[in-house]
Amino acid sequence: MEKGKKRTREENKEEIEAESSDADHSLSLEQNLTFSDTLVALRIMRAQFPQIDKVAIQPFILQSQLYSSVKDRTQVDRELESLRREKVVRIFKLNTGQDDHGIMLLDDYIKQIEHAVKRMEERKQRDLKVFEWFKVYVIESKLEPSIEHQELCSLLSLGGRVKDDHISLLINAGLLTRQLIDPSMYWFAIPNIGSILKGISQGRKELLSLLNRRRYKEMMLVPLEKKRLRLSPLDMRFHLRDLIGSGHLKTAHSPTGIVVRVSKD
Protein backbone atom coordinates (compact mmCIF):
# COMPACT_ATOMS: atom_id res chain seq x y z
CA MET A 1 0.00 0.00 0.00
CA GLU A 2 2.76 2.42 1.00
CA LYS A 3 4.57 1.82 -2.29
CA GLY A 4 1.46 2.70 -4.27
CA LYS A 5 1.01 5.86 -2.24
CA LYS A 6 4.59 6.90 -2.75
CA ARG A 7 4.28 6.43 -6.48
CA THR A 8 1.13 8.57 -6.55
CA ARG A 9 2.89 11.35 -4.72
CA GLU A 10 5.88 11.20 -7.10
CA GLU A 11 3.63 11.11 -10.16
CA ASN A 12 1.61 14.04 -8.90
CA LYS A 13 4.79 15.96 -8.11
CA GLU A 14 6.21 15.40 -11.61
CA GLU A 15 2.89 16.33 -13.17
CA ILE A 16 2.72 19.54 -11.16
CA GLU A 17 6.28 20.52 -12.02
CA ALA A 18 5.82 19.80 -15.72
CA GLU A 19 2.63 21.82 -15.95
CA SER A 20 3.94 24.61 -13.72
CA SER A 21 6.87 25.22 -16.02
CA ASP A 22 4.41 25.49 -18.93
CA ALA A 23 1.95 27.77 -17.12
CA ASP A 24 1.84 31.01 -19.00
CA HIS A 25 2.13 33.97 -16.65
CA SER A 26 0.92 36.27 -19.40
CA LEU A 27 -2.43 34.46 -19.74
CA SER A 28 -5.20 36.73 -18.50
CA LEU A 29 -7.60 35.56 -15.82
CA GLU A 30 -10.37 35.68 -18.41
CA GLN A 31 -8.50 33.02 -20.42
CA ASN A 32 -7.93 30.69 -17.45
CA LEU A 33 -10.59 31.33 -14.84
CA THR A 34 -11.78 27.72 -14.51
CA PHE A 35 -10.07 24.32 -14.64
CA SER A 36 -11.15 20.70 -14.98
CA ASP A 37 -9.89 19.48 -11.62
CA THR A 38 -8.23 20.50 -8.38
CA LEU A 39 -4.73 19.32 -9.25
CA VAL A 40 -4.72 21.25 -12.54
CA ALA A 41 -5.93 24.37 -10.68
CA LEU A 42 -3.29 23.90 -7.96
CA ARG A 43 -0.37 23.58 -10.33
CA ILE A 44 -1.36 26.52 -12.53
CA MET A 45 -1.95 28.79 -9.54
CA ARG A 46 1.32 27.68 -7.98
CA ALA A 47 3.13 28.74 -11.15
CA GLN A 48 1.28 32.07 -11.15
CA PHE A 49 1.94 32.85 -7.48
CA PRO A 50 3.25 36.45 -7.39
CA GLN A 51 6.92 37.22 -6.74
CA ILE A 52 7.00 39.05 -3.41
CA ASP A 53 9.92 41.33 -2.57
CA LYS A 54 11.75 40.82 0.72
CA VAL A 55 9.58 37.88 1.83
CA ALA A 56 10.95 34.37 1.42
CA ILE A 57 7.81 32.32 0.94
CA GLN A 58 7.01 29.31 -1.21
CA PRO A 59 3.83 29.50 -3.31
CA PHE A 60 0.57 28.65 -1.57
CA ILE A 61 -3.05 28.60 -2.70
CA LEU A 62 -6.18 29.52 -0.76
CA GLN A 63 -9.00 27.00 -0.63
CA SER A 64 -11.38 29.78 -1.73
CA GLN A 65 -9.27 30.21 -4.89
CA LEU A 66 -9.85 26.55 -5.75
CA TYR A 67 -13.59 27.04 -5.23
CA SER A 68 -13.50 29.86 -7.79
CA SER A 69 -11.63 27.73 -10.31
CA VAL A 70 -13.34 24.34 -10.19
CA LYS A 71 -17.12 24.50 -10.59
CA ASP A 72 -17.99 21.72 -8.14
CA ARG A 73 -17.02 22.48 -4.52
CA THR A 74 -17.63 18.90 -3.45
CA GLN A 75 -15.16 17.76 -6.10
CA VAL A 76 -12.57 20.23 -4.73
CA ASP A 77 -13.05 18.97 -1.15
CA ARG A 78 -12.84 15.33 -2.24
CA GLU A 79 -9.76 15.77 -4.44
CA LEU A 80 -8.04 17.95 -1.85
CA GLU A 81 -8.61 15.27 0.78
CA SER A 82 -7.02 12.66 -1.52
CA LEU A 83 -4.00 14.90 -2.20
CA ARG A 84 -3.61 15.47 1.55
CA ARG A 85 -3.71 11.75 2.33
CA GLU A 86 -1.25 11.02 -0.49
CA LYS A 87 1.12 13.61 1.07
CA VAL A 88 1.14 15.75 -2.05
CA VAL A 89 -0.18 18.83 -0.22
CA ARG A 90 -0.53 20.13 3.31
CA ILE A 91 -3.52 22.20 4.41
CA PHE A 92 -3.11 25.01 6.94
CA LYS A 93 -5.68 26.95 8.95
CA LEU A 94 -4.75 30.58 8.32
CA ASN A 95 -4.88 33.23 11.01
CA THR A 96 -6.80 35.89 9.03
CA GLY A 97 -9.85 36.15 11.26
CA GLN A 98 -11.88 34.14 8.75
CA ASP A 99 -12.26 30.45 8.07
CA ASP A 100 -9.37 30.51 5.58
CA HIS A 101 -7.24 27.54 4.63
CA GLY A 102 -3.95 27.68 2.75
CA ILE A 103 -2.67 24.80 0.64
CA MET A 104 1.01 24.21 0.00
CA LEU A 105 2.69 21.37 -1.85
CA LEU A 106 4.49 19.21 0.70
CA ASP A 107 7.81 19.64 -1.12
CA ASP A 108 7.42 23.43 -1.01
CA TYR A 109 6.55 23.25 2.68
CA ILE A 110 9.74 21.25 3.39
CA LYS A 111 11.73 24.01 1.62
CA GLN A 112 9.94 26.57 3.79
CA ILE A 113 10.94 24.62 6.93
CA GLU A 114 14.56 24.48 5.73
CA HIS A 115 14.55 28.24 5.23
CA ALA A 116 13.21 28.70 8.79
CA VAL A 117 16.00 26.45 10.14
CA LYS A 118 18.61 28.54 8.30
CA ARG A 119 17.27 31.67 9.99
CA MET A 120 17.51 29.93 13.37
CA GLU A 121 21.12 28.91 12.61
CA GLU A 122 21.96 32.54 11.79
CA ARG A 123 20.63 33.51 15.22
CA LYS A 124 22.96 30.90 16.75
CA GLN A 125 20.04 28.94 18.24
CA ARG A 126 20.84 25.58 19.84
CA ASP A 127 18.92 22.28 19.79
CA LEU A 128 18.16 22.58 16.06
CA LYS A 129 17.92 18.79 15.74
CA VAL A 130 14.25 19.17 16.73
CA PHE A 131 13.53 20.45 13.20
CA GLU A 132 14.75 17.19 11.72
CA TRP A 133 12.55 15.24 14.17
CA PHE A 134 9.64 17.49 13.19
CA LYS A 135 10.17 16.79 9.47
CA VAL A 136 10.77 13.06 9.78
CA TYR A 137 8.32 12.03 12.51
CA VAL A 138 5.63 14.71 12.80
CA ILE A 139 5.06 15.95 9.24
CA GLU A 140 5.24 12.46 7.74
CA SER A 141 2.65 10.91 10.07
CA LYS A 142 0.36 13.76 11.18
CA LEU A 143 -1.50 14.97 8.09
CA GLU A 144 -4.27 17.01 9.78
CA PRO A 145 -4.00 20.82 10.21
CA SER A 146 -3.66 20.59 14.01
CA ILE A 147 -1.95 18.46 16.66
CA GLU A 148 -2.37 17.97 20.41
CA HIS A 149 0.58 18.70 22.73
CA GLN A 150 0.90 15.12 24.00
CA GLU A 151 0.84 13.64 20.50
CA LEU A 152 3.40 16.20 19.31
CA CYS A 153 5.78 15.28 22.14
CA SER A 154 5.22 11.59 21.55
CA LEU A 155 6.07 11.87 17.82
CA LEU A 156 9.09 14.12 18.44
CA SER A 157 10.39 11.68 21.07
CA LEU A 158 10.94 9.15 18.26
CA GLY A 159 13.92 11.39 17.39
CA GLY A 160 15.25 12.00 20.89
CA ARG A 161 14.49 13.38 24.34
CA VAL A 162 11.95 16.20 24.05
CA LYS A 163 12.28 19.34 26.18
CA ASP A 164 9.96 22.36 26.50
CA ASP A 165 12.63 24.40 24.72
CA HIS A 166 12.18 22.22 21.64
CA ILE A 167 8.47 23.13 21.40
CA SER A 168 9.33 26.82 21.94
CA LEU A 169 11.82 26.62 19.06
CA LEU A 170 9.17 25.21 16.72
CA ILE A 171 6.76 28.01 17.74
CA ASN A 172 9.43 30.72 17.39
CA ALA A 173 10.35 29.42 13.94
CA GLY A 174 6.71 29.82 12.89
CA LEU A 175 5.99 26.10 12.40
CA LEU A 176 3.34 25.89 15.12
CA THR A 177 0.86 28.33 16.63
CA ARG A 178 -1.12 27.71 19.82
CA GLN A 179 -4.87 27.48 19.48
CA LEU A 180 -6.56 30.21 21.52
CA ILE A 181 -9.52 28.10 22.62
CA ASP A 182 -7.41 25.14 23.76
CA PRO A 183 -3.73 25.92 24.61
CA SER A 184 -2.86 22.21 24.54
CA MET A 185 -3.61 22.18 20.78
CA TYR A 186 -1.40 23.63 18.04
CA TRP A 187 -2.09 24.59 14.43
CA PHE A 188 0.62 23.70 11.95
CA ALA A 189 1.74 26.97 10.35
CA ILE A 190 3.73 28.28 7.40
CA PRO A 191 6.83 30.13 8.61
CA ASN A 192 7.31 33.73 7.45
CA ILE A 193 3.69 34.15 6.33
CA GLY A 194 2.67 36.97 8.72
CA SER A 195 3.04 39.95 6.36
CA ILE A 196 1.34 38.00 3.55
CA LEU A 197 -1.70 37.24 5.76
CA LYS A 198 -1.97 40.95 6.52
CA GLY A 199 -1.82 41.60 2.76
CA ILE A 200 -4.62 39.09 2.11
CA SER A 201 -6.93 40.85 4.59
CA GLN A 202 -6.07 44.35 3.40
CA GLY A 203 -6.20 43.42 -0.29
CA ARG A 204 -9.70 41.98 0.16
CA LYS A 205 -10.95 45.22 1.73
CA GLU A 206 -9.26 47.37 -0.91
CA LEU A 207 -10.66 45.39 -3.85
CA LEU A 208 -14.21 45.33 -2.43
CA SER A 209 -14.00 49.05 -1.67
CA LEU A 210 -12.83 49.74 -5.25
CA LEU A 211 -15.84 47.92 -6.71
CA ASN A 212 -18.32 49.32 -4.18
CA ARG A 213 -17.41 52.85 -5.26
CA ARG A 214 -18.38 52.14 -8.86
CA ARG A 215 -21.87 53.00 -10.08
CA TYR A 216 -23.15 49.44 -10.48
CA LYS A 217 -20.54 47.91 -8.14
CA GLU A 218 -19.07 46.06 -11.10
CA MET A 219 -16.23 46.21 -13.59
CA MET A 220 -15.00 44.30 -16.63
CA LEU A 221 -12.51 41.62 -15.59
CA VAL A 222 -9.79 42.55 -18.12
CA PRO A 223 -9.20 46.18 -16.99
CA LEU A 224 -9.81 45.21 -13.33
CA GLU A 225 -7.07 42.58 -13.42
CA LYS A 226 -4.58 45.21 -14.61
CA LYS A 227 -5.17 47.46 -11.60
CA ARG A 228 -2.61 47.41 -8.78
CA LEU A 229 -3.51 47.21 -5.11
CA ARG A 230 -1.68 49.55 -2.75
CA LEU A 231 -2.16 47.62 0.47
CA SER A 232 -1.26 44.08 -0.60
CA PRO A 233 1.98 42.51 -1.88
CA LEU A 234 -0.18 39.97 -3.75
CA ASP A 235 -1.46 40.64 -7.24
CA MET A 236 -5.01 41.37 -8.39
CA ARG A 237 -5.40 37.88 -9.87
CA PHE A 238 -4.73 36.30 -6.45
CA HIS A 239 -7.38 38.47 -4.76
CA LEU A 240 -9.97 38.09 -7.51
CA ARG A 241 -9.80 34.28 -7.36
CA ASP A 242 -10.09 34.44 -3.56
CA LEU A 243 -13.12 36.76 -3.44
CA ILE A 244 -14.93 34.98 -6.28
CA GLY A 245 -14.41 31.63 -4.53
CA SER A 246 -15.58 32.94 -1.15
CA GLY A 247 -18.74 34.36 -2.74
CA HIS A 248 -17.98 38.06 -2.08
CA LEU A 249 -17.72 38.66 -5.82
CA LYS A 250 -19.46 36.97 -8.71
CA THR A 251 -18.81 36.82 -12.43
CA ALA A 252 -21.17 37.09 -15.36
CA HIS A 253 -20.54 36.67 -19.08
CA SER A 254 -21.41 39.61 -21.31
CA PRO A 255 -20.95 40.14 -25.07
CA THR A 256 -17.76 42.11 -24.34
CA GLY A 257 -16.26 39.68 -21.81
CA ILE A 258 -16.52 38.70 -18.15
CA VAL A 259 -18.00 41.19 -15.67
CA VAL A 260 -17.04 41.06 -11.99
CA ARG A 261 -19.57 42.46 -9.52
CA VAL A 262 -20.03 42.63 -5.77
CA SER A 263 -22.48 39.96 -4.53
CA LYS A 264 -25.73 41.43 -3.25
CA ASP A 265 -26.18 39.12 -0.25
pLDDT tier at 3 (50, 70, 90 boundaries)?
very low
Position 114, amino acid: E
pLDDT at 36 over 90: no
Q: What is the pLDDT of residue 139?
A: 95
Residues 235-255: tens digit of each pLDDT: 999 999 999 999 999 999 999
Query: What is the pTM (predicted TM-score) of this model?
Result: 0.86
> Is domain 194-262 in CATH 1.10.10, yes or no?
yes
- Secondary structure tally for the chain: helices H, strands E: 12, 9
- How large is the average pLDDT for residues 140-156? 96
**Which sign does the torsion angle of CA 160, 113, 120, 148 carry?**
negative
* CA dist 32 → 54, 65, 197 (Å): 29, 13, 25
CA dist., res. 207 & res. 262, Å (int):
10
The residue ranges of every structural domain in the chain are 2-108, 126-184, 194-262
Q: Higher-confidence residue: 125 or 202?
A: 202
Find all residues with CB under 8 Å of 1, minimum gap 6, and list them.
none
Strands 176-178 and 185-188: antiparallel
Instruction: State how far Cα 59 lies from the chain centre.
Output: 7
Q: What is the pLDDT of residue 14?
A: 57
In degrees rounded to 5, what are phi and psi of residue 161? -75, 120
pLDDT at 183 over 50: yes
Residues 74-129: tens digit of each pLDDT: 999 999 999 999 999 999 999 887 789 999 999 999 999 999 999 888 887 777 89
Q: What is the pLDDT of residue 82?
A: 95
